[in-house]
Structure 1
């Protein structure tokens, strides 16, 4: 069976194990059902997720002009501490920025390759943890806007990591940690503006991914260079497809590529 479409991050369901779906314009593919089967991926073009044109993808699924112009690619997306909508100050489009920034945000701890701190909109829990390949996570602060979450994350980055080691995550080279202990340990470093939003009593969330075989030495597939690849699907974790020959393919990092899938 052949499918054709633009890559966007896989949609997920928080079940045991996590369920993954690849969504194209005219197709909806349940990826878990492909485990153990041979999957071929071929690059056939590009389509910017904003303007829809066949232009080279620059970052985050956008062509270069959209990345530097559109409000949903502003610096505050990756650096929440730069948010200014709470001050009524525009970056690229104040109405859009108010809509996204002025809503409840969560500062969390997640353990994927190591314990890390992160920020997400409350509506994106637990999706954000799934996308990062975290096997356990906990909310530590819930604030009313993105700025407060951002400055809290910045403060805590001095004491805990803020990035995932994707190779360790994919190899499942992890150890369980007490995120409750980490939460209580880090409370003293939360900025005064956000400390009243600290979450005192909650429990860890545990996540189980559909992986039959973890790669010993993950080898990242660069579809822009290789153009075509075929292999047996052995697992899915985070936004990565894991293949039997240790090849891994990051769907999120390849958003905007138009591909042909054969299975």
Structure 2
């Protein structure tokens, strides 16, 4: 069967294992059902996720013009400490930024290759951790806006990484560590204005199981700009990556806005 559409990040459902869905405008694939089967991915064009025009994708599924104009990709997305909606100051669109920034945010520790610190909206738990391929995750503090989460992340980056080693994550080279023990050492590292939100007794540890039949020993990334068509046997899904039997991995999120045909 053939499925055609524009790539967006896979939708997920928390479970044991996590369930993955690749959703197009008129159809969807339940990706877990394709494990152990051959599939072919063929690139056929671009469509900006913001303006829907057939323009080359620049970053994050957006064309160049939309990337530098849409409030959905402002600098404060990647750097929460730059958030200003709590001050009533706009970056690109104050209404949009108020809706997104002025809601509960979680600062967390996650174990995807080694321990990392990160920020997400409370509504994105545990989706954010699934998208990162985290094996375990633990909320540190819940704060009322993105700015406070951002300055907390900046402070904790002095002690923990804020990046995932995606190669180790995909080859399952995961350090075995106790996130709860790290949480007990956090309070003195938090900014003063955030310490009131820290509850030492509240510690919900998430453990995530991914649908992977076999992890590769070495990996090679599929780049649709260089290889417009690829066929392989799907052996696993982790984070937003498809893992194939020959060690090829495909980052769905890295190619949002690309039009593809998938044959299964």
Deviates more, 1:184-193 or 1:153-162: 184-193
Alignment of 1:1-263 (within 5 A): 1-201=1-201, 202-263=203-264
Give the Cα separation in 1 of the matches to 2:39 and 2:172. Answer: 23
Gaps of 5+ in 2: none
Give the Cα separation in 1 of the matches to 2:132 and 2:187. Answer: 23
For residue 185 of structure 1, give the secondary structure of its aligned residue in structure 2. Answer: coil
Give the Cα separation in 2 of the matches to 1:128 and 1:247. Answer: 24
Q: Could you give the per-residue CA deviations for residues 206-254 of structure 1, whole angstroms, max 9, x where no partner exists?
A: 0000000101111110011110100000000000000000000000111
Task: State how many pairs are aligned.
Answer: 263
For residue 98 of structure 2, give the secondary structure of its aligned residue in structure 1. Answer: helix
Give the Cα separation in 2 of the matches to 1:240 and 1:145. Answer: 30
Give the Cα separation in 2 of the matches to 1:150 and 1:223. Answer: 34
Give the Cα separation in 2 of the matches to 1:218 and 1:150. Answer: 33
For residue 108 of structure 1, give the secondary structure of its aligned residue in structure 2. Answer: strand
Q: Could you give the per-residue CA deviations for residues 92-129 of structure 1, whole angstroms, max 9, x where no partner exists?
A: 00000000000000000000000000000000000000
Q: CA RMSD in A?
A: 0.6
For residue 69 of structure 1, give the secondary structure of its aligned residue in structure 2. Answer: coil
Gaps of 5+ in 1: none
TM-score normalised by the chain length of structure 2: 0.99
For the Cα contact (< 8 Å) 1:109–1:117, is it kept in 2? Answer: yes
Give the Cα separation in 2 of the matches to 1:214 and 1:198. Answer: 37
For the Cα contact (< 8 Å) 1:139–1:199, is it kept in 2? Answer: no
Deviates more, 1:157-166 or 1:177-186: 177-186
For residue 52 of structure 2, give the secondary structure of its aligned residue in structure 1. Answer: coil
For the Cα contact (< 8 Å) 1:112–1:134, is it kept in 2? Answer: yes
Give the Cα separation in 2 of the matches to 1:92 and 1:258. Answer: 28
- Moved runs in structure 1, 4+ residues, more than 2 A? none
Give the Cα separation in 1 of the matches to 2:253 and 2:187. Answer: 32
For the Cα contact (< 8 Å) 1:142–1:199, is it kept in 2? Answer: no
For residue 116 of structure 1, give the secondary structure of its aligned residue in structure 2. Answer: strand
